[in-house]
Amino acid sequence: MRALILGGTSGAHLLADAVAREGLQAIYSYAGRTRALAEQQLPTRVGGFGGASGLADYIRKEGITHVVDATHPFAAGMSRNAVEACAATGTPLMALERAPWPKASGDNWIEVPDVASAVAALPGQRARVFLAIGRQHIAAFGARPQHAYTLRFVDPPDEPLPFPDGDVIVARGPFAFAGELELMRSRGIEWIVARNSGGTGGRAKIDAARELGLPVIMIGRPALPDRPRAESLAEVMLWLGHRTCLGA
Ligand code: NAP
């Protein structure tokens, strides 16, 4: 058994820890988007594979027997490539995919399918907006330059922001409810733009928005091809042939 874990999420790190602890053979793959890679114990590789065919070549060359797609639910390109490459090489694939956040009572969500619709859903008049969507997706908000944006990135931006009024916070999650409440209060946030990533690490901003009665423009997940999926580490470990109950 030699697994490839497509990572970049907190769930992927927990899986890598469990796999390393149990002595299973695996390689952890980072896209290499952040400068400081989060530490973990498995052997790693960094950078794209060169599309689905590049990933298929990698699987063959490295003798990969199992692929776990533990990428972010919005990392649709990598997930599609994994489906294609695993089909081409006959390699079993499992997605470790956290469930989306359900809308709770008191949530004021405007649900939209993509970033372009999120831009269109912002009010016309100037507002203070917490743009909690990651730096790769902010360019489209340049079409609404009247707003005061608060952004949070893992690394400081290396390019100018696409709008004149942007306040960047550099921090890596998970984030706690009290801190999110304080962030929104201290900056006078009126709107939040978020993606329905699911999981616990990003949930606090949604809970804080509900507490403050703020509208959240919630971007839904991209559509992906059908593939086997698990929501828990324990399920993935079982699938990898490890029979111990991890209680995860
Ligand atoms: P994406 O659009 O699906 O991926 C674009 C390309 O980046 C892929 O086609 C692949 O390049 C490369 N890539 C992505 N994930 C990779 C991985 N784990 N290992 C090796 N190559 C990878 O993905 P993205 O949205 O840019 O996300 C990039 C990474 O950041 C992912 O690992 C994801 O888990 C993590 N992340 C993303 C988000 C998000 O909001 N999208 C949030 C948190 C973490 P090739 O085609 O050349 O193989």
Choose between 37 and 204: higher pLDDT: 204
d(CA 47, CA 90): 23
Compute, in angstroms, the gap from residue 37 CA to the centroid of ligand 1. Answer: 14
Q: Average pLDDT in the 13-24 region?
A: 94
**Ligand 1, atom 40: nearest CA belongs to which residue?**
74
- Distance (angstroms) between ligand 1 centre and the Cα of 187 equals 31
Average model confidence (pLDDT) for the chain?
Answer: 94
Out of 1.10.1740.10, 3.30.40.10, 3.40.50.720, 3.30.70.2860, which CATH number does the structure's domain 108-219 have? 3.40.50.720
- Check residue 36 and give its pLDDT: 64
The residue whose CA has the least distance to atom 38 of ligand 1 is 72
Residue 248 has pLDDT above 80, yes or no: no
CA of 31 to the centre of ligand 1 (A): 5
pLDDT at 172: 87
Task: Answer whether 246's CB lies under 8 Å from 233's CB.
Answer: yes
Q: How far is the CA of 78 from the centre of ligand 1 (A)?
A: 6
Ligand 1 atom having least distance to the Cα of 7: 18
**Mean pLDDT value across residues 63-80:** 96
Any bridge partners for residue 44, and if so which?
28
Distance in angstroms (rounded) separating the CA atoms of residues 124 and 130: 16
Averaged over 157-165, what is the pLDDT? 94
- Domain 3-98+223-239, CATH 3.40.50.2300 — does that match? no
For the chain, percent of residues with pLDDT exceeding 90: 85
Q: Whose CA is nearest to atom 23 of ligand 1?
A: 75
- The domain ranges of the chain are 3-98+223-239, 108-219
| Ligand 1, atom 46: closest residue by C-alpha | 51
Atom nearest to 55 CA in ligand 1: 48
In CATH terms, are 3-98+223-239 and 108-219 the same topology? yes
**Separation of 113 CA from ligand 1 center, angstroms?**
20
Quickly list H helices, the chain: 10-21, 51-62, 76-89, 115-121, 177-186, 204-212, 233-239
pLDDT at 112 over 60: yes
Q: How many CA atoms lie within 13 A of 237 on its CB side?
A: 22
The pLDDT, as a whole number, for residue 247 is 45
Q: Find the mean pLDDT for residues 210-231.
A: 96
The pocket around ligand 1, CB under 6 angstroms, is made up of 6-9, 29-31, 33, 48-51, 54-55, 71-72, 74-78, 81, 134, 136
CB 19 within 8 A of CB 3: yes
| Residue identifier of the C-alpha nearest atom 26 of ligand 1 | 75
Question: What's the pLDDT band for 72 if we cut at 50, 70, 90?
Answer: very high
Atom of ligand 1 nearest to the CA of 72: 34
